[in-house]
Amino acid sequence: MRPRITLITLGVDDLERALAFYRDGLGWRSDGIVGQQFEHGAVAFFELEGGLRLALWPRASLAHDSGLPVGPRSPTSFALAHNVGSRLEVDEAMTLAARAGAVVVKPPQDTFYGGYAGYFQDPDGHLWEVAWNPDWQLPEGAAP
């Protein structure tokens, strides 16, 4: 198996609220909610750089599809990261997220590895790190 991730699906409690956060608040492009004609089919997709996609899918639909019961939220089960090219871009991204309705759980600050990072939670409690790492280069042409 080749080590590749093509889609990240976030289970959400309110699909319209989650769509508004990412599309309207963060400015990510989406065609909106599709698949509403199918039971457990309503989902919103976002194309990310590098061919990766993000899906927002109701937690109940994800549970139904996987055959698992809906469990309690756990924001510390995993974190998504958005790496940027400078300390200033960390501050800008965190401010944008907060304006969009995110809860800043750790304001940006210097890190143990010499970088600068902070954390926010989206409206469904998913944990996002926004980080600048002076030892990492972003892919050529990558937008912050």
The answer to whether the CB of 87 falls within 8 A of the CB of 130 is: no
DSSP state of 13: S
CATH level 2 (architecture), domain 79-132: Roll (3.10)
Please write the tens of the pLDDT for every residue from 20-59.
Answer: 999 999 999 999 999 999 999 999 999 999 899 999 999 9
Residue at token pair 């990072």: 117
Higher-confidence residue of 78 and 93: namely 93
Count of CB atoms within 10 A of residue 111's CB?
15
Where do the structural domains in the chain lie, given as residue ranges?
Answer: 7-66, 79-132
Q: Which CATH superfamily is domain 7-66 in?
A: 2,3-Dihydroxybiphenyl 1,2-Dioxygenase, domain 1 (3.10.180.10)
Q: Using 50, 70 and 90 to split pLDDT, how confident is the model at 99?
A: very high
End-to-end CA distance of the chain: 30
Task: State yes or no: pLDDT of 66 exceeds 70.
Answer: yes
Count of CB atoms within 10 A of residue 139's CB?
7
What percentage of the chain's residues is helix, strand, coil (to nearest 5)?
25, 30, 45
DSSP state of 3: -
The answer to whether the CB of 53 falls within 8 A of the CB of 46 is: yes
